[in-house]
Structure 1
Amino acid sequence: MKKKYVIFILLCLSAFALPAQTLEEAKELFKSGQFEQAKPVFLKYVKSTPGNPSYNFWYGACCYETGEKNLAEKHLVIGANKKIQEAYRYLGQLYSEQYRFAEAEQNYNSYIAMLAKSKMSTEEYENTLKKVRLGAQMIKGVEQVAIIDSVVVDKNNFLNAYKISEESGNLFTYNDFFQKEEESEGTVYQTELENKIYYGYKGKSNHLKIYTKTKLLDQWSEASPLPKSINSGADANYPFVMSDGITIYYASKGEGSMGGYDIFVTRYNSDTDNYLNPENVGMPFNSPFNDYMYVIDEFNNLGWFASDRYQPKGKVCIYIFIPNESKRIYDYDAAEPQKLVSLAKIGSLEDTWKGRNTDVKAAKERLAAAKSQKPKVTEKKEFELIINDQLTYTRTDDFTSPKAVEMVKDWLQALSDYDMQAKRLEKQRDFFNESNQEKRKSLAPGILDLEKRVEQIGKEIKTLEINIRNEENNFLRK
């Protein structure tokens, strides 16, 4: 009896492990997102009734969701031909990923019309339609860029594939740089001088934003968000700043993105103390998938970016290319449509080398040399002070003038005072903003005094820097 009971339990357990057996079971699995288990049943029904639009839709959708997208189209088309609403959405997604933007637009229009007819919200898909139309525009301006290599890596440690020179700065994950253990996809770019960082962080908001900090002695300043033109409300992350200090590349899911993260570039305008309107860098760097972490190593004349286009979950492809001095695009009218799509997708690296074999060979040699370099050893710096066009001191021991050494001690103390008072001022301002009118009146005099003190220390610091520089240079000339 006990043996029969055990067999019964095993049979029950095995029943739960089996895929769906009936159409109703398969439909329930489909609704819960268990497409792999539902797919065999739908295939069986498609084979028994090849013209049935519902069976074809369910099977085509399962093929799409499980990665068999080459099988999905013909079955979804049968469903769409019989006005199955969700078939239009799936075809819109599929055609967009295949860079068939005109067909994608047509299907999304049909889907939106059916939503509107049912008095359902169309906002999400109106936005999706904008991305499709952006893709249709971008395919007309694919940049001619020689992509010399690619490597598929785990997304969790993809930065290890970036073999950039010391002159180009440093890249970190947010957790590695700040010594945190959070669920964060934020990355950190640190300048070559290691005195400034740009990083992506979610904080209290629901979206990643890019912040910057400046180093004062051994402490970092308070975080300052980049302007709203960059932090537009959607996720913004993966910053990289060129050696000119004013050109920043980053990735955003916001306005002007054609799908997921797109790579953008903007430049700081000193006249307005703000950044110019960001520009989408276009194809082949961007795609209907996630594209990000665009880096230009000017010392080695190599570029890098990451993309999860056509990659399995958890993987990302790192592309290495030769940066162009000026943007050159393929002739859209003269190019074969399928060839242009392949170039936009980066279907073949060799196809991007046309007429540039010598450049590609030299770039591959530079890449091999960069990969063979030993890990960077960072030198401990006390500060960063430019003495003249040839000398920048980073430690007190660098100075030759005894008088300059004494002045440096005063300068370091002034920097420490400035940092402390600036933080106090920041806290007072925050408290002021959160207070009522009566409290603000009592806080205002103290804040004004602090502002004057911070301004005064700032002027003292500049004067000390000039005096230190002059003293050291005069001593060196003796």
Structure 2
Amino acid sequence: MKKRGIILFLFCCIVSFLSAQTLEEAKAMFLKGEYTKSKPVFKKYFKSQPANASYNYWYGVCCLKTNEPGEAIKPLEFAVKKKIQNAPFFLAETYNTLYRFDDAVMLLEEQIQAHSKKKQPVDDLEKLLEKTKVNARMLKGVEEVCIIDSFVVDKRNFLATYKLSEESGKLFTYNQFFGSEGKNEGTVYETEIGNKIYYSERGRNKTLDIFTKNKMLDQWGEGTPLPGSINDNGNANYPFVMTDGITIYYASDNENSMGGYDIFVTRYNTGTDTFLNPENVGMPFNSPYNDYMFAVDEYNDLGWFASDRFQPADKVCIYVFIPNTSKQTYNYESMDPELIKNIARLSSISLTWKDKNAVKEAKERLEAAISQKPREEKNYDFEFIVNDQITYHKIDQFQSEQSKELFREYQQLCKDYRQQSSKLSSQRDWYGDASAEDQKKMSAAILDLEKRVEEMSHQLDTLSTRVRNEEIQYLKK
């Protein structure tokens, strides 16, 4: 009993040490941004004196900052009514978090007008107003995407939840890949064949920038920052590159994000050796919280992304979705406003299920990916028709050594052709949605790539004919 008493006493001491005990201690922690520690004291005072405007303000801000925006509304609205300084700003932030963008715009415009009359600073209010207006526009273009499942996991090892096929490459934490220690927030994406990585680390401006390295024999070369505007402002992290080799998804907390990290997409322009202007992928992928690590597994036809929306500080939710071949958006004008908000918030993933059969099939693919079931083995490597009577399925079936070597060249050219064709398809899709300025930049590169793909197609026809002729001639001997 004595031992249990000592343990209980020590626990209470630890709790007392970590959390504020008096109102003055809570105020001091509040000013330092230690909202979790100060919140219990403010809650106690708020409950005992609900008409006290200051208690409403302090408690409301703590609720907002600890991911309880619904609890923050009433106390912050009361604080605004009682003219508490800064309360309107935090109430507008709360409205943003709850997707009440029109309410936030109205409140901020009123405050900017009032502050301007009194010649008080309005910079922070105007900045939040601009972001709120962008968020309101995004709500009118929510993408129709089917979210099939979600998992709440520990933030520190969330990457372990991603189950990507070998063809889609690999994801690592910075420390895991480079064998380093310390606080390195960056992640690493390695291509399927392991000859290139994209990773994030602190750059010259002490913000996270995305770099790339190529493998030379058994060693990695020097890291090179990605060209273009990807690293221009804010932190850039969580890179993922599609199998076409030119489409990159990443997360950034730059000025174009809804709040915290947002997911962006861009494509490499071979003609200018740079990336096109990044595009915010919008809702429901992005939110006023942190959204990141967007990855598409083309082999399993599944997509993944992480979000800390409505999660405790040490947790993150991993969403799994069916990737769209083209972007379709909901008809905002014809939908119930609360329904579109709930879809954008992903308050219930079942709201995104339009085709239950597609959901069922995707869940089966997800289950197989998670359990890592072995793929169905083919009893042949390829199918190559030599003539009407002979079809080869394995390289050892070729009788001529010359035809074997030619066929190996043919296989490599096939792989290169598929890769370049995929790249061309992606560039054409991007061209259709790009601005006039970006289209002008891309035109020459697309024309060059079209010419290259056409040449490769002719080369394939010529090479396959040579393989057949060589093998047939050898068999006739």
Instruction: Note the C-alpha offset of 1:126.
Output: 3.3
Q: Displacement, 1:107?
A: 3.3
Is 2:387 the partner of 1:388? no
Amino acid at match of 2:55: Y
Distance verdict in 2 for CA 1:261–1:47, change over 3 Å: closer
Equivalence for 2:127: 127
| 1:165 equivalent in structure 2 | 165
TM-score for the superposition, normalised by structure 1: 0.71
1:146 and 1:321 in contact (8 A); partners too: yes
2: distance between equivalents of 1:43 and 1:310? 20
Which residue number in structure 1 is paired with residue 453 of structure 2?
Answer: none
**Aligned residue in 2 for 1:6:** none
1:234 maps to a residue whose letter is G
Preserved CA contact (<8 Å) 2:69 2:98: no
Q: Residues of 1 paired with 2:299 and 2:230: CA distance?
A: 27
> Counterpart of 1:208 in structure 2: which amino acid?
L
Is 1:341 aligned with 2:362?
no
Q: Is the alpha carbon distance of 1:313 and 1:111 closer, same or farther for their aligned partners in structure 2, counting shifts above 3 Å? A: farther
Change (3 A) 1:183 1:110: farther
CA distance in 1, matches of 2:190, 2:21: 57
Give the TM-score taking structure 2 as reference length: 0.71
**Greater CA deviation, 303-312 or 181-190?**
181-190
- Cα shift readout 1:347-404 (whole Å, capped 9, x = no counterpart): 11111102x111111111111111121799xxxxxxxxx9523149xxxxxxxxxxxx
Q: How does 1:168-179 map to 2 (within 5 A)?
A: 168-179=168-179
Larger Rg: 1
Amino acid at match of 2:325: E
- Rounded to whole Å, the distance in 1 between the matches of 2:152 and 2:337 is 27
Q: Secondary structure at the match of 2:263?
A: strand
Query: Could you say which residue in structure 1 is the equivalent of 2:81?
Result: 81
**For 1:85, what is the secondary structure of its paired residue?**
coil
Whether the 8 Å CA contact 2:228–2:275 is kept in 1: the answer is no
Instruction: Kindly report which structure 2 residues correspond to 1:432-471, keeping only aligned pairs within 5 A, or say none.
Output: none
What is the Cα deviation at residue 32 of structure 1? 4.7
Which residues in structure 2 correspond to 1:25-424 (within 5 Å)? 27-28=27-28, 30-33=30-33, 35=35, 42=42, 46=46, 50-110=50-110, 122-354=122-354, 356-373=355-372, 388-391=409-412
Q: CA deviation at 1:115?
A: 6.3
Report if aligned partners of 1:26, 1:38 keep a CA contact under 8 Å in 2: yes
**Cα 1:199–1:119 shift into 2, 3 Å:** farther
1:204–1:44: structure 2 CA closer, same or farther, 3 Å change rule?
closer
Pick closer, same or farther for the CA change 1:32–1:298 going to 2, 3 Å. Answer: closer
Go from structure 1 to structure 2 and tell me whether the alpha carbon gap of 1:59 and 1:273 turns closer, same or farther (over 3 Å shift): closer
Give, in angstroms, the shift of residue 20 of structure 1. 7.0
Tell me: CA distance 1:375–1:239, structure 2 relative to 1, closer, same or farther (3 Å).
farther
Q: Provide the C-alpha distance between the structure 2 equivalents of 1:193 and 1:18, rounded to a whole number of angstroms.
A: 48
**1:88 touches 1:110 (CA, 8 Å); kept in 2?**
no
Question: Does the 8 Å CA contact 1:85/1:114 hold for their aligned counterparts?
Answer: no
Shift of 1:274: 1.8
- 1:190–1:37: structure 2 CA closer, same or farther, 3 Å change rule? closer
Deviation at 1:120, TM superposition (A): 6.5
Cα contact 2:60–2:71 (8 A) shared by 1 = yes
Contact 1:53 1:82 in 2 (8 A): yes
Q: Give the residue type in structure 2 aligned to 1:233.
A: N
How much does 1:67 deviate? 4.7
Where structure 2 has 5 or more consecutive residues not aligned to the other structure, the ranges are 1-9, 376-406, 414-462
* Structure 1 residue 48: Cα displacement: 6.2
The answer on whether the counterparts of 1:289 and 1:309 sit within 8 Å (CA) in structure 2 is yes
Distance 2:25 2:156 in 1: 37
* Identity between Structure 1 and Structure 2 (%): 55
Give the Cα separation in 1 of the matches to 2:168 and 2:176. 19
State the one-letter code of the partner of 2:409.
Answer: N
With over 3 angstroms needed to count, the CA separation of the structure-2 counterparts of 1:185 and 1:43, relative to structure 1, is closer
SS, match of residue 56 in structure 1: helix
Which one is further off, 108-117 or 167-176?
108-117
Q: Distance in 1 between matches of 2:317 and 2:269?
A: 33
Instruction: Tell me the alpha carbon deviations over residues 429-476 of structure 1, each in whole angstroms, 9 at most, x when there is no partner.
Output: xxxxxxxxxxxxxxxxxxxxxxxxxxxxxxxxxxxxxxxx9xxx99x9
SS of the equivalent of 1:284 reads coil
Contact 1:241 1:247 in 2 (8 A): yes
Secondary structure at the counterpart of residue 141 of structure 1: coil
Question: Structure 1 CA distance, aligned partners of 2:20 and 2:209?
Answer: 44
Deviations 1:167-201 (A, max 9, x none): 11111111111111131111111111211111111
Alignment partners' CA distance in 2, 1:187 and 1:269: 24
Distance in structure 1 (CA, Å) of the matches to 2:165 and 2:46: 56
Distance 1:37 1:183, change over 3 A: closer
For 2:260, what is the secondary structure of its paired residue? coil
Using a 3 Å threshold, how does the CA distance of structure 1 residues 36 and 362 change in structure 2: closer, same or farther? closer
The number of aligned residues is 383
Give the AA of the match of 2:255: E
Secondary structure (helix, strand or coil) at the match of 1:285 reads coil
Q: CA 1:113–1:201 in 2, change beyond 3 Å: closer, same or farther?
A: farther
Alignment deviations for residues 63-96 of structure 1 (CA, whole Å, 9 cap, x no partner): 4345543332112111101221221122112111
Q: How far does residue 143 in structure 1 lie from its aligned partner after superposition?
A: 0.6
Matches of 1:149 and 1:291, distance apart in 2: 16
SS of match in other structure, 2:134? helix
Instruction: Please state how far the C-alpha of 1:249 moved relative to its aligned partner.
Output: 0.8
Q: Report if the CA contact (8 A) 1:153-1:318 is conserved.
A: yes
User: Aligned-pair distance for 1:52?
Assistant: 3.8
> Residue 228 of structure 2 contacts residue 276 of structure 2 at CA under 8 Å; is this kept in 1?
no
Report what 2:435 is aligned to: none
What is the letter of the counterpart of residue 360 of structure 1? V
Q: SS state of the match for residue 364, structure 1?
A: helix
Aligned to 1:333, the other structure's residue is in SS state helix
Moved more, 229-238 or 104-113: 104-113
- Bigger Cα displacement from structure 2, 117-126 vs 205-214: 117-126
Residue 433 of structure 2: aligned partner: none
d(CA) in 2 for partners of 1:288, 1:116:
27
CA RMSD of aligned residues (A): 3.5
Whether the aligned pair in 1 keeps the contact of 2:209 and 2:235 (CA below 8 Å) is: yes
Separation of aligned partners in 1, 2:238 and 2:126: 27
Gap change, CA 1:33 and 1:306, over 3 Å in 2: closer
- Any idea what the Cα deviations from partners look like across 1:208-229, whole Å, max 9, x if unmatched? 1011111121122211111241
Q: Is the 8 A contact 1:251 1:263 kept in 2?
A: yes
